[in-house]
Chain A
Amino acid sequence: MAEVTREGAGGPGSKPGLKARAVERMARAVAGERLDALQRRLEDLEAEVQECRQLNIRLAEVVDLVEELLLPIAAQDEGKIAAAVEKYNRTI
């Protein structure tokens, strides 16, 4: 298997079937604007959930970098700091 890069937030889309469309029409007749508002809210919530998930990568990257560079910096050894920066760049 080759890893497929799915960068979009969603997954594979599919057109709603006959039954789903009938249900949608019925719900719209009953709930009207409220249904639209709920759909919008659901989309907003999904986007917010993804934003939270995406923090994992950002934070992991910062922690990884700090961990690798902090020790040579704490030792205040100019040569070791330069070497640590070079090595970090070389091994990512």
Chain B
Amino acid sequence: MPEPAPTRVARVDDSGVHLTSAQDTVVDTLFDGRRIWSFWTLRDTRPGDAGQVAEWPPALRRFLEGTTQLSVVEHVSGHVLFDEEVTLGSSADRIAVVDSSGRPLGIDKSNRITTTFDTRDRDQTAPLLDSTEQVLSALLEAGVDAFPVYGTLLGAIREQDFIGHDSDVDLGYVSRHKHPLDVIRESYRLQRYLRERGYSIDRYSAAAFKVEVLEADGAVRGLDVFGGYFLNGRLYLMGEIGTPFEEDWVFPLGTCTFAGRTLPAPARPEKLLEATYGPNWKVPDPAFHFATPRTTYRRLNGWFRGTRVNREIWDGRYRQLRENLPARRPSALARHVFKAEGTMARLVDVGAGRGADPLWFASKGVPALALDYSRGAANAVQRQADEEGLDLEVGWMNLLELRSVLAQGARVARLPGPPTLLANHLIDATDQRGLEALTRFARMTLRAGGRMYADFETLRPGERPAPPGPRTATRPKNAERVLQTLRDSGAVIVHTTQVPTSDHTEGEGSERPVVRLVAEWRK
């Protein structure tokens, strides 16, 4: 059989790496000798004028201004395909792919820009290893035998060390429970156990969460913990695995060596690695993509997911802003509520975002509670309120997690005086499940009096709802359907009106019609 033509790189320019390749090969792109990005020569390219072109990942583009010694190297063989001084953009500077503190960044396998392990030395990874051992030990105390999974297990078994192009530590455990309901309850119990010991937890799904660990150098590090369980001879492990598997390939746990530490491991780690990365798991692939079967997605989605709709969008928006105080300009709805209600026992802003409205109410002497599912979004407002001695509390509630709605509802119902609920562009930012959860919260908290005020964008007459886009945080709603959902939950609609375009507290305004409604639940 003739050898396939080797991969040849013709040039590298502002659009990407131009090459010809007959065989899919994984290659690294190095800037001044440091790996920045890896891609497959067929899978990740499109036809270009000189054969194929691998376009720069969007996350990398903002760095591509200046000159660098650019090399393209076959990852497995180390064969150099290209090595030249290249100038990109119009700057004469040296290209520096670093964060604001000067730490080197690279593109991980999900095309995100992050600090990968190949740029960190032993001193820098030691705190992460300490955190890993600490969380493994806390999980063991909590009653599950956790061990490294995904890239961390791959590194431990293949290289006894971090994988250079990896960027985080992943832990997992296999529950002894055999029913998804019990697996979920166990995951909640683990979360509670870790929270009580001071860890911050951010939940990905009903069976996976991130544990935030404060490291010795002051940095906060997130370690992912993936739950799994056996069902009918198959191992299901969040977030990608659903495969025939023997229980004695997991239990009793053995050990592995990872960067000089001894950590727990499944009894047959190679079996789990094969289930995760396929039979070629021993061959390094810095641009690996999971090919998870549709049936596995559907099972994991159906059992465990659905509680984080649009979280990435809101978290992304607030990440840059949450430590900065928002302008002290109340929303149109907040001004309306203050005028209509006068004295209020308490203002509860559901979907408060950065908390500009609750801060404004608190500064006017109204005790305020700011609730949102994006953690930390109102950090700056909380600090400011504390400094000024204002009666403002920031709490967490996720309309897509029933337990949080029930628990927060029970809590607010116990506070003195009937609350006034504010939902400023919340209804158009959530789905039907979220709307129904909002009505549940309102029914619980307004039983003894008080009103809910809401503004939301509506569809124009005859307009059909647009399909959700990947970056669309709000979608206009059918006003009649919203009102019917409220009525179905026992609401009395006191007032509805169409208002001129009202401002969003967060995000950009729009020219859409906005409905303002006032409702009571006294049944």
Interface set of A (CB-CB < 8 Å, partner B): 1-12, 46, 49-50, 52-54, 56-65, 68-69, 82, 85-86, 88-92
Contact yes or no, B303 A89, CB < 8 A: no
Contact (A86, B411) CB under 8 Å given A11-B293, A53-B303: yes
CA distance A57 to B395 in the complex (A): 22
Option from B168, B184, B298 in Cβ contact (under 8 Å) with A11: B298
Which of B211-219, B308-316, B333-341 makes up part of the contact surface?
Answer: B308-316
Say yes or no: B298 contacts A85, CB within 8 Å.
Answer: no
Is A61's CB under 8 angstroms from B305's CB?
no
Q: How far is the CB of A76 from chain B (nearest CB, A)?
A: 15
Let me know if B408 and A8 touch, CB within 8 A. no
Q: Counting CB contacts under 8 A, is B196 at the interface?
A: yes
B407 contacts A56, C-beta separation under 8 Å: no
Measured between alpha carbons, how far is A63 from B302 in the docked complex, in Å?
19
Contact with A along B286-312 (1 / 0, CB 8 A): 000000111011111111111111011
Q: Interface centre among B151, B185, B407, by most A CB within 10 Å?
A: B407
Q: Is the CB of B181 within 8 A of A60?
A: yes
Contacts of B204 in A (CB 8 A): 3, 5
A61 touches B401 (CB 8 A): yes
B294 and A1 within 8 A (CB): no
CA distance A91 to B299 in the complex (A): 28
Question: Which B residues are in CB contact (< 8 Å) with A10?
Answer: 294, 297-298
Q: By the criterion CB–CB under 8 Å, are A57 and B307 in contact?
A: yes
Is there an interface contact between A91 and B196, defined as CB atoms closer than 8 Å? yes
Q: Pick the contact of A3 from B151, B224, B309, B411 — CB < 8 Å?
A: B224
Contact assessment for A11 and B294 in the assembled complex, using a CB-CB cutoff below 8 Å: yes
Per the bound structure, the CA–CA distance linking A11 and B299 in Å amounts to 10
Q: How far is the CA of A46 from the CA of B224 in the complex (A)?
A: 30
Q: How far is the CA of A11 from the CA of B318 in the complex (A)?
A: 28
CB pair B309–A7 under 8 Å, yes or no, is yes
Q: Does B135 contact A (CB under 8 A)?
A: no
A91 touches B294 (CB 8 A): no
Q: Which of A6, A7, A57, A89 contacts B411 (CB 8 A)?
A: A89
A–B pairs, 25, beta carbons within 8 Å: A3-B224, A3-B226, A6-B301, A7-B306, A9-B302, A10-B298, A11-B293, A11-B294, A11-B297, A12-B292, A46-B298, A49-B302, A54-B306, A56-B180, A57-B184, A57-B306, A57-B307, A60-B180, A60-B188, A61-B184, A61-B406, A62-B403, A64-B185, A69-B410, A92-B407
Q: A7 contacts B305, CB within 8 Å? A: yes
Q: Interface of chain B, helix or strand or loop or mixed?
A: helix
Report yes or no: B206 in contact with A57, Cβ–Cβ below 8 A. Answer: yes
CA distance A61 to B400 in the complex (A): 11
Task: Give the dominant DSSP class at A's interface.
Answer: helix
B191 touches A50 (CB 8 A): no
* A57: B residues at CB distance < 8 A: 184, 206, 303-304, 306-307, 402
Tell me the complex Cα distance, A53–B300, Å: 9
The interface centre, meaning the residue of A3, A6, A9 with most chain B CB atoms within 10 A of its CB, is A3
Tell whether, in the assembled complex, residue B294 and residue A56 are in contact, meaning their CB atoms are under 8 Å apart.
no
Closest to A54 in B: B302
Q: B414 interface residue, CB < 8 Å from A?
A: yes
Q: State whether the Cβ of B424 lies closer than 8 Å to any Cβ in chain A.
A: no
- Assuming the contacts A5-B308, A6-B301, A11-B297, asked whether A60 and B184 have C-beta atoms less than 8 A apart, the reply is yes
* Complex contacts, B208 vs chain A, CB 8 Å: 3
A62 to chain B, nearest CB (A): 7
B150 interface hit (Cβ, 8 Å): yes
Q: A88 with B297: in contact, given A1-B151, A7-B309, A64-B188 (CB under 8 Å)?
A: no
> In the complex, A47→B3 CA distance in Å?
49
For the complex of A and B, list the 3 residue pairs with the smallest distance between their C-beta atoms, beginning with the closest: A53-B302, A11-B297, A60-B184
In contact, B302 and A89 (Cβ under 8 angstroms) = no
B474 on the A face (CB < 8 A):
no
Apart from A6-B297, A9-B298, A56-B179: 7 A-B pairs, beta carbons within 8 A = A7-B309, A11-B292, A50-B302, A56-B303, A65-B406, A65-B407, A90-B195
**Which residues does chain B contribute within 8 Å of A59, judged by CB atoms?**
181
Question: Chain A residues near B306 (CB, 8 Å)?
Answer: 7, 54, 57
Is B65 in the interface zone, CB < 8 Å from A? no
Q: For residue A52, give the distance in angstroms from its CB to the closest CB of chain B.
A: 8
